[in-house]
Amino acid sequence: MESPLKSQVQWKTSDGLVPYPQAVAEMEARVAAITDGTAGELVWLLEHPPIYTAGTSAQESDLLDARFLVYRTGRGGQFTYHGPGQRVGYAMLDLKHRKPDVRAYVCDLEQWLIETLKQLGVKGERRRGRVGIWVVRGEREDKIAALGVRIKRWVTFHGVALNVAPDLSHFSGIVPCGVRAHGVTSIADLGIDVSMAEVDIALKGSFQKIFG
């Protein structure tokens, strides 16, 4: 039987830049509330000030220049950058009432990004052995979106980060997700002019298609 939670996903969009510790604290609180049944699922769209975050697999050698604050976090993955012009989507979903399969959930997050990019005129692709979403640019491939997941008692948090129009030079302080052979790009860097509001519309529509 389909869970009623599927039709009750709440969306929250924050204006301005949300400090990373505040976001983590709010996610933790919401995940606890979802777990004990006092709150429904939530997808939170926001931007952070310029920061680096280190996932559970981060290698210290991948932190090249700590020009911004570095936060150690419980999500999976390695080093990543967050900053203005990047749309972060934190998904707090109850997989017990969906599909309790971590691999399938990560695949769905990837497809969410691919479908969103498609709506915005960008062909995003998966690559075996490389986390995130990639675009082919002639002879090279660049990363346009990242994802990192943490799951506590089958409730998810953290999520995805889509490069809309960030300062790409900020990525040079790290080896993004441990991948040295490829670069990073953004929707703006590809020559496509979209507003964050248009990105949010695409994210919401694609989420509905993938997650119901």
- List residues with catalytic annotation: 177
* CA angle 98–158–18, rounded 5-degree value: 135
Alpha helices in the chain (DSSP H): 20-35, 102-119, 196-211
State how far the Cα of 130 lies from the Cα of 127, in Å rounded to an integer.
5
What is the number of H-type helices and E-type strands within the chain? Answer: 3, 11
Which residue from 9, 1, 4 is spatially nearest to 156, judged by alpha carbons? 9
Q: What is the dihedral of CA 64, 65, 71, 76, to 10 degrees?
A: -20
- Write the CB contacts of 107 (distance below 8 Å, at least 6 apart in sequence): none
Give the C-alpha separation, 33 to 18, whole Å: 21
Cα–Cα distance, 181 to 184 (Å, whole number): 11
DSSP letters, 47-86, are E--SEEEE-TT--GGGB----SEEEE-SSSSSEEEE-TTE
